[in-house]
């Protein structure tokens, strides 16, 4: 089976940096995705990691450590529009479907 | 631009009814998925399909079936709706390779009375 853990809620200040962690336990790991979901909207793709290290994409970066079963999403220069849920999802070798964590609801305050 | 379209944004049905949720994608993707999303539980996979007429059970298939007669369309069927199937249902599609992101529809909020 698979187990994916993320914090339920986080609060941060506009302009600051926030790190959202995700730990997973799975067999046959084949990649990790991060999605953003605004309230009442569809999830949208943010990043994909399959190798250890940091992937940077503008204000957002995602890190993976396969040996530790750990990933984080780093959001810099936070803006009010970054208030959303952030979903961590893992894909296994041989299975084309994702397994999602419960998501982290981020509230950005002025 | 990528587009996944779900037939209804909101739907209200009665217990025992047969319910059809439709999903269409215009990206020629091989893979299509149905999830439900409930507070505190995240997205849970119901069924997925990797080709026309092919389907595989996800993590919570009980009480549901699916149909994929054409590549662009993936239907979710609630054979006899029950109140515990009240939820947000999300359809997604992706290209064949597992490292390709899934693209989601806007969701159908289904209420079973």
Portion of chain A with pLDDT greater than 70, in percent: 98
Question: Looking at residue B43, what is its pLDDT?
Answer: 93
Question: Looking at residue B65, what is its pLDDT?
Answer: 97
Residues in B touching A87 (Cβ below 8 Å): 42-43
Whether B33 and B45 have beta carbons less than 8 Å apart is answered as yes
Portion of chain B with pLDDT greater than 70, in percent: 98
Mean of all residue pLDDT scores within chain A: 93
Please count the other Cβ atoms lying within 10 Å of the Cβ belonging to residue B9. 11
Residues A96, A35, A69, A6: is their CA dihedral positive or negative? negative
Contact A31 B98 (CB under 8 A): yes
- Cα–chain-centroid distance for residue B108? 9
- Rounded Cα–Cα distance for residues B31 and B73 (Å): 11
Q: Which residues pair with A109 in a beta bridge?
A: A13
Mean pLDDT of B2-27: 94
Q: Specify the higher pLDDT residue, B2 or B25.
A: B25
pLDDT interval class at A1 (50, 70, 90): low
pLDDT by residue (tens digit) across A35-84? Answer: 999 998 999 999 999 999 999 999 999 999 999 999 999 999 999 999 99
Whether residue B53 has pLDDT greater than 60: yes
- Rounded Cα–Cα distance for residues A5 and A99 (Å): 11
pLDDT interval class at B40 (50, 70, 90): confident
Question: Looking at residue A59, what is its pLDDT?
Answer: 96
Question: Looking at residue A95, what is its pLDDT?
Answer: 73
- Rounded Cα–Cα distance for residues B4 and B8 (Å): 12
Whether residue B2 has pLDDT greater than 80: no
Judge whether B45 is closer than 8 Å to chain A, CB to CB.
yes
Residue whose C-alpha is closest to residue B47's, from B91, B11, B13, B7: B91
Distances from the Cα of B56 to the Cαs of A39, A43, B59, B69, in angstroms?
Answer: 29, 22, 10, 15
Mean of all residue pLDDT scores within chain B: 94
Of B58, B104, B105, the CB nearest to A97: B58
Judge whether A81 is closer than 8 Å to chain B, CB to CB.
no
Mean pLDDT of B57-63: 94
pLDDT by residue (tens digit) across B74-91? Answer: 999 999 999 999 999 999
Mean pLDDT of A101-107: 96
Contact B101 A45 (CB under 8 A): yes
């Amino acid at each position: 089976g698979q187990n994916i853990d993320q914090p339920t809620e986080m609060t941060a200040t506009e302009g600051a940096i926030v790190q959202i962690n995700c730990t997973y336990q799975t067999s046959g790991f084949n990649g990790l995705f991060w999605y953003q979901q605004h309230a009442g909207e569809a999830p949208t793709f943010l990043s994909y990691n399959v190798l250890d290290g940091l992937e940077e994409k503008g204000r957002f970066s995602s890190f993976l450590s396969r040996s530790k079963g750990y990933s984080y999403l780093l959001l810099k220069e936070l803006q009010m529009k970054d208030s959303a849920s952030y979903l961590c999802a893992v894909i296994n070798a041989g299975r084309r479907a994702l397994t999602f964590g419960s998501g982290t609801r981020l509230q950005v305050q002025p | 631009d990528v587009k996944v379209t779900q037939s209804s944004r909101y739907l209200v049905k009665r217990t025992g009814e047969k319910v059809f949720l439709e999903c269409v994608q215009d990206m020629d993707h091989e893979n299509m998925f149905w999830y439900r999303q409930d507070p505190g539980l995240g997205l849970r996979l119901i069924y997925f399909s990797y080709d026309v007429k092919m389907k595989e059970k996800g993590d919570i298939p009980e009480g549901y079936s699916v149909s994929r007669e054409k590549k662009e369309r993936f239907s979710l069927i609630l054979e006899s709706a029950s109140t515990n199937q009240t939820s947000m249902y999300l359809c997604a599609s992706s290209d064949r390779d597992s490292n390709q992101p899934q693209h989601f529809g806007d969701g159908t909020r289904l209420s079973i009375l």
